[in-house]
Structure 1
Amino acid sequence: MLIFLLAYLGGALTILSPCVLPVLPFVFARSEQSFRRSGLPILVGMAVTFTVLASLAAVGGAWLVEVNQYGRYAAMLLLLLLGMALIFPSWSERMMRPFVSLGGHLQQRADGQGSVKGGLLLGVAVGFLWAPCAGPILGLVLAGAALQGANLYSASLLLAFAAGAASSLALALLASGRVIAWMKRNFGIEEWIRRVLGIAVVAGVVVIALGWDTRFLAQLTSANTTSTEQRLIDGLAQRPVAPGATDARMAPPLKGATHWLNTPPLDDAMLRGKVVLVDFWTYSCINCLRTLPYLKAWDAKYREQGLVIIGVHAPEFAFEKDIRNVERAVRELGVNYPVAVDNDFAIWNAYENQYWPAHYLLDAQGRIRHQHFGEGAYVETEQMIQSLLMEAHQDLALDAAPVQVKAAGAMVAAADRDRSHETYLGYARQENFASPEEIRLDVAGKYSAPRRLELDQWALSGTWLVSEESALLKKRGGAISFHFRGRDLHLVLGADKPLRFRVTLDGAAPGKHHGVDTDAAGNGVIREQRLYQLIRQSGAVRDRIFRIEFLDEGAEAFAFTFG
């Protein structure tokens, strides 16, 4: 139930977000009418439409994007007619008769009768246009919907988010209705109020049509609600099970893996009597890669004493479902313990997991006795491993000293300083995009970089096809720029054949600041689909302008991460 409360609170916080501004004119345009017959149906229609569209987007393809786009066009036309009717009621009655069913007649009937049906239709239109900024809570909900598909659980979470937004808008609507009614009684300016609301509606349509709602306003929002949402997540997220807890739950069965690597398929009976560490990971995840040195060291130290580490590989990107890619990654990363390939997220869902990486430590009876999400807490986890091994084998002699690891490349722990956060290039989770052109969904388009990038902003140059999870270069010479903060810069890249690229820092070759996948001149080659370390700053670390230019077409970029 906590995740539903979190989703509801995240939606309620949207009232504080500039991203709600384009929606307000459509909602407030009828604020002087009965809330039960006018305002409430608008909010219900908006919430339900958003829920349906977001749920289907989790599993839909390009066809759904196209259907949604036509729905947006129809919604913008309907609301534009509504705004014009508010500004010029007599003009709209004469000139818009062919469109009566879409706008003018609906507005006139709603004004006279407080039509519930009219409010619902306007709410559906607003739902097509509402694009709430993707803060941490909505990101968590959408990521879960993408992983689990359009089922009742994910739809319920999205509905809880939409209900939270509708609740806060309802309070604002009730308050504004009283203010407008007071102004009418005391100043007699009903016609001017009507026209001002109409102008606001038309302006809202223009803002959405030009894409300003999801570009400029979304950038403002991150500074307003993100920290609040993150505190809510931290405060309400599930806590680790205390060591030795008597109410530790039994671990779900390891059923549903599509492949097993380094071992025949394992089941509960085979693992009974063993201490088991279940590690959810994916091979292009930088946080997962940084935990691998400890997992491999624990496997080497405690395997003979009864520890079994099982890496559950749950793919984040489509290319991570390719078993050949996973086999290559397991081999090159030196992972020798069992790996369950969880392409269908059967094990992920059984554990109700939400994170990469996530560690679940099971005792010899199969109970979850400890869990940790993300990097860190290595000493505490190792101490729990030792405790459970001693519990299972009373006479076991263990070296209590924690393992010492020597990591290299992308596996080195992140620098202890502020750094840019993970940034996705696909439109499903995209943010801080700074190219002046609007993103064209699943269609190739030309993009350019602005003269100046603010910190954490990025831009495309050249001809790119932006899909739900990546940006694919369609013509050679394209580039990506990023104003980043951090010691390391990584980029998940892929291609069907070896492709050349060149990187620069502040317009020059990286020199001593090059990463393990580039040389001092900034040259590199995409040979497979994986995470590439392109920059590792040496010495003093400062904010930099990074640019990668691809000398061949066909490069596909997925996500930036930093260390």
Structure 2
Amino acid sequence: MIPEILLIGLIGGLVTGVSPCILPVLPIVLAVSADAKRKPLLVALGIAISFTAITLLGTLALSVLGLPSATLRWVGVALLVIVGLSMLFPALGHLLEKPFATIQVPSWISSKTRGSAGKGSGFGIGLALGAVYAPCAGPVLAAVTVAGATGDIGWPTVILAFSFAFGACVPLFFFALAGSAWSKRAQFATDNRARISRVAGALVLALALAIATDVPAKLQRTLPDWTASIQQKFNSSEDTQSVLNGLRGDSSEDGAQAASASLNACRDEDPSRLLDCGDVPAFEGLTNWINTTPAGSAIDPAHPEKRDGRQTITLVDFWAYACINCQRANEHVTKLYDRYRDYGLNVVGVHAPEYAFEHDAANVAMATNEQGIHYPVAQDNDFLTWNNFSNRYWPAHYLVDAHGRVRQIHEGEGAYAATERLVRQLLADANPGIELPAPIEANTDDAPIATMGRNLETYLGTDRASLFSNPLSEYRAGVHDFAYVDPAEKGYSLEGPWELRGQSISPAGPGAKIHLNYHAALVQIVASGKGELTVTGSDGKVTKFPASEVPGTIDLVKTDGKPASGNLTIEVPESMSAYSLTFG
């Protein structure tokens, strides 16, 4: 088990270490490494050690000492200010670095990381950086954080925490090594070491101020996460989940275990369709409610109440305010709430702290206001609700229908348009005849990261349909005569008389058509019955596709491997039924 824990922690840290999350500390690492006295290895090692200690023990230590939860972060910022001043004033720097200069490293490492000049260390700087380093959230970091916050710390958790921190600091070490090598070899650096040190000190001071005021977060929110695809594959892999589930254990009662198993079975399913993931777990231990008076009133996903005569549904969103992924996702969740709250949508933001300073109620309230969140938010500092949901990620949301059943689980960013369509469908199911406003999200983010770009598999039967552009109130089991509607990007619409069933659709008369907007190298329809499909392309070209009695797939578009975009009109005879559209 130990080797698996080490490997999962190391890989998780490495992926995090090359993500945009390193940006706030990267300039400081480069700046201090340009000073020949600072050893890149000790800078990186200091970050790994302090980050591990603070993540595992910071919350417990502050609680025992009775100190404010933001203490460690401000200590880190203060230490960076001292570092910056020490680089501006070498005498101060020599005095501060002296206690760390005695730290010994193997000679083969020392020869590569220490120049001939100076006896500095860099370890103290690394310790300071570890206190302000806030890597992107993920299931590995979540497991460590929850263990640290709840005091459930064992050797496996310690090993996972340090291997994660080590992996996350490996890229920082190589950046530090590069900065150190440049300062030693470049003639300009050699001739101007004192000036470069002072400039670096000023940069450290500026960046310490920026970190204190969360300026880097604004930049990170605007940048795409270039490691998203890799993180998605790693986080959802069976090996990762097996190791993390083994760390968590489960001492809960049989009923809670069954509920957890039901939720876990839905976590990696297609977020664009409604599922039945079991009853929503109970809210427990939530405190310091924001944006609701009295605190937490009328918010119970397990027993939704009518509001203004409408039955309500609920989106439960787990987040942490310093998590960059959460900040980007919150913009979409807030838009969703603002658009549909008058039509029966509740949103509850369950704030589960990722770092010690996120326990502070004033910090959470300020972040809620700064991030423009209008829906109710409560703190889950003891992770009681988090554990009830067996949650494992920031951000993560659970969509609950009007009967208190979880119908969608999505972890991480994305799937915003898919979630909106499911919200619209549940609101229509709960309130027949409701007239909903126009959607606010585009369709381009619906695909899972691995299939981003081409259409998703598109189910036509009412049990799993989600990508249609017809009015939601009309797309339900029975016979309907649909008016023409332009299909949305990578979506479809029905026109003419159709009989809709749970798994399939069949023409209820002549003139039944499917209008499809696609982007793919291969477009297929899964159909049964005997007859002939008539397909008209964007260029007006008409093609006939015969079908046999045996259900199967029919290739409607097939290119040489390069994706194509366009629209198809598929006229289906009354003798056939259609089940889905698939894409390659």
> TM-score when scaled to structure 2?
0.45
> TM-score when scaled to structure 1?
0.46
